Structure 1
Amino acid sequence: MPEVIFNGPAGRLEGRYQPSKEKNAPIAIILHPHPRFGGTMNNPIVYELFYMFQRRGFTTLRFNFRGIGRSQGEFDHGAGELSDAAAALDWVQSLHPDSKNCWVAGYSFGSWIGMQLLMRRPEIEGFMSIAPQPNIYDFSFLAPCPSSGLIIHGDADKVAPQRDVNGLVEKLKTQKGILITQTVVPGANHFFSGKNDELLAECEDYLDRRMDGELVPEPAPKRIR
């Protein structure tokens, strides 16, 4: 797994990158939790998601937001981190111009950044939003959400209470043309303490089903003129 350094808006960004053997393989970018609360690209959940996508033939990247590890710059309360994520996707795409599709997976703070990236990049066809925090971050930009995806969280999460996540999911489910899958991990807190295996199994199941053409809305029937 190559260690990479690439240019970001505030200086160099440090990442871990695994190219697929297939030229046109999809790209997956995994975004880590809050930099001010110990979040890095080596977070165990981020690490496992990276390998989950890699095992399924994706070209995969995880990286440190600005000011973390060897990434230059300073924490920017989300705006700069979104620019970092866009630069990371640009960098991978420059190496893989034949890749037409992309997935983004984010955990906690990373899920907020990932959902914003989703709004700006039409090539992102799927997302995984793990333990999002709509009680803390504004998700109103998802109007409408352009891609189908998974929102997964624990029913014992006190950082992002279930009722708040349910409210976000219900809002997204009213939108046409996408399918939001919500999964609740019983007994899991915000950090999925002792529940990482269950979390990963649910994410793997979702990704496998999406790759099999499931969990997306049925195409609208053609009108006969």
Structure 2
Amino acid sequence: MPEVIFPGPDGRLEGRYHPTAQKDAPIALILHPHPQYGGNMNNRVTYALHYAFRDLGFTALRFNFRGVGRSQGEFDQGQGELSDAAAALDYLQMHNPNARGCWVAGFSFGAWIGMQLLMRRPEISGFVSIAPPANMYDFSFLAPCPSSGLILNGESDRIVPMADVEGLVAKLQAQKGIQITHSTVADANHFFEKGMEEMVDIVKGYVKARLIEGGR
């Protein structure tokens, strides 16, 4: 998989870019968990999400937020990281101008950033949020949420309690014009040390169904 360096708002950003041979393949941007708690683009969940989309025929990009790995800059409480994600999406779109769909997928902190990016980029047609930290961050900006998507969490997650994710899901499902699918993995903790394969299967099944249904 090509290692790439691309310009970000605070210096160079390091990523892994996996293009497909198909010129109009949909694109997917994958966002990693919290940089200050060891999160990086090679996190197991982030890596698994990348390959889930790749297996479905997407051109996929995952990258390190500022200050992680070889990405320049310093942690910026989410504001700078959102700008990094926007720059990464720009890079994806520049290299894939004919992509027939655009998705964002994030894990934990990356899910929070991904949902903010969703609000700012109307071309994003679907999202996958794994263990969104609804107990730590305010998700009220999703008013309304502009796209349908999947929210998935582990039933044994002690970092982001089930009740907080269910509360977020209930608020989004009450909105009109979108469909929010909520799935859980029994016995899985926040990092899916158990249930990783089931998590990937759920993500693949959801995204594949959306592609068949909407053509993108």
TM-score range, shorter chain: over 0.9
Find out whether 1:181 has 2:157 as its counterpart. Answer: no
Q: One-letter code of the match for 2:24?
A: N
Alignment of 1:141-152 (within 5 A): 141-152=141-152
Over aligned residues, Cα RMSD in angstroms? 1.0
Measured against aligned partners, the alpha-carbon deviations of 1:128-147 in whole angstroms (never above 9, x if no partner) come to: 00001111001000000000
Counterpart secondary structure, 1:69 = coil
Whole-angstrom distance in 2 between the partners of 1:47 and 1:191: 12
Find out whether 1:25 has 2:25 as its counterpart. Answer: yes
Aligned twin of 1:196: 196
Whole-angstrom distance in 2 between the partners of 1:128 and 1:136: 19
Aligned twin of 1:217: none
Measured against aligned partners, the alpha-carbon deviations of 1:149-191 in whole angstroms (never above 9, x if no partner) come to: 0000011111111111111000001111100000011111111
Asked if the contact 2:187–2:194 (Cα under 8 Å) also holds between the matched residues in 1, the reply is no
Counterpart secondary structure, 2:125 = strand
Counterpart secondary structure, 2:136 = coil
Larger RCO: 1 or 2 (CA < 8 Å, sep 6+): 2
Aligned twin of 2:72: 72
Whole-angstrom distance in 2 between the partners of 1:10 and 1:100: 30
Q: TM-score, normalised by structure 2?
A: 0.97
Q: TM-score, normalised by structure 1?
A: 0.93
Whole-angstrom distance in 2 between the partners of 1:57 and 1:86: 22
Measured after TM superposition, the shift of residue 100 of structure 1 is 4.2
Q: How many residues align?
A: 214
Counterpart secondary structure, 2:209 = helix
Q: One-letter code of the match for 1:158?
A: R
| Structure 1 runs, 4 residues or longer, greater than 6 Å off | none
Whole-angstrom distance in 2 between the partners of 1:94 and 1:113: 21
Q: Percent identity?
A: 64
Asked if the contact 2:56–2:204 (Cα under 8 Å) also holds between the matched residues in 1, the reply is no
Alignment of 1:74-153 (within 5 A): 74-153=74-153
Whole-angstrom distance in 1 between the partners of 2:175 and 2:205: 24
Segments of 5+ residues of structure 1 without an aligned counterpart are 215-225
Segments of 5+ residues of structure 2 without an aligned counterpart are none
Measured against aligned partners, the alpha-carbon deviations of 1:39-77 in whole angstroms (never above 9, x if no partner) come to: 000011111111111122111100000000000000001
Which of 1 and 2 has greater Rg?
A: 1
Asked if the contact 1:21–1:57 (Cα under 8 Å) also holds between the matched residues in 2, the reply is no
Asked if the contact 1:150–1:180 (Cα under 8 Å) also holds between the matched residues in 2, the reply is yes
Whole-angstrom distance in 2 between the partners of 1:44 and 1:162: 21
Counterpart secondary structure, 1:212 = helix
